[in-house]
């Protein structure tokens, strides 16, 4: 089973969820230091659907 947890851009996710989850990272190219939550979610879902 898989759950993709997306928190608010400011406060993020509650500590209890962060502790229980396995974190993943989205590689970034030089010059970019962050993505908004909608973009990060779209990239994560695209990756999941490519794997299945």
In a domain, 10, yes or no: no
Position 52 pLDDT exceeds 80 = no
In a domain, 1, yes or no: no
Position 51 pLDDT exceeds 90 = no
Q: How many domains does the chain have?
A: 1
In a domain, 38, yes or no: yes
In a domain, 4, yes or no: no
In a domain, 41, yes or no: yes
Q: Which domain holds residue 32?
A: 15-51
**Coil/strand/helix, residue 8:** strand
pTM for the structure as a whole: 0.75
Q: What was the pLDDT predicted at 43?
A: 95
The pLDDT tens digits for 3-49 are 999 998 788 899 999 999 998 989 998 888 888 899 999 999 999 99
Q: What was the pLDDT predicted at 45?
A: 95
In a domain, 2, yes or no: no
The residues facing 8 across adjacent strands are 12
């Amino acid at each position: 089973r898989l759950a993709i947890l997306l928190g608010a851009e400011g406060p993020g996710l509650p500590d209890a969820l962060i502790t229980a989850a396995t974190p993943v990272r989205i590689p970034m190219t030089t010059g970019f230091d962050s993505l908004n939550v909608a973009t990060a979610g779209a990239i994560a879902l695209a990756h999941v659907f490519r794997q299945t």
